[in-house]
Amino acid sequence: LIRTDPFSFTRPGEPFLGFEYGSQLVYAAAERLGGLPAVAVLAGMVIGITYGLLTHFLRQRAVDPLLAYLTVGLAAALGAAHWTARPHLFSFVAVVVLLGILEGTVRKPGLACGALFLVWANLHGGFIYGWILIGLYLVGSMGEMLMSPARAAWQERSRYYAALLAVAVLVTLLNPRGWDLHRHVFGF
């Protein structure tokens, strides 16, 4: 792992934290296997997987096929500006996978959440957005718990989201930099 900045003219030798090292390794492996075309193919596959999973997610929720198509088409049109071979593409996939976990479509959600955030934290700093998304589900469930006559169900849902958030936060410490990764990402 690179510890000092070899890239910057204005900060040579300064401490460097490669917080997206996992995606750098993935892209480097693709480049070694097939050059720049392989990197482009990998990025295209990740983009395709993102929108494919989003379509699957919507169809699992019994969304009308035409509405699902229009929604995913709009998402693709809005996201197209970000279709570059960069680490953030992995966060796009992770968000859609996280939605499946939050909506309860995954067996063993605690294990799935832990595995997702373990990989995500080592690929891209967008895992913080995942924490925020879980937190929004938690706050929403707590609000429902206070206002709904079905308090017990919402209380159980709140515990579920709180447990997922705890897992998501703790497992992200399993990276080569530990807490330094979190300090660095929050520094942005």
What average pLDDT score do residues 6-12 get? 79
Q: Is the pLDDT of residue 1 over 80?
A: no
- Cβ neighbour number for residue 89 with a 10 Å cutoff: 26
Q: Is the pLDDT of residue 11 over 80?
A: no
- C-alpha 143/C-alpha 165 separation (Å) is 17
Q: What is the pTM for the complete model shown? A: 0.90
pLDDT digits 0-9 by tens, 53-79: 999 999 999 999 999 999 999 999 999
Among residues 25, 10, 83, the alpha carbon closest in space to that of 50 is found at 83
- Cβ neighbour number for residue 78 with a 10 Å cutoff: 9
Mean pLDDT of the chain: 93
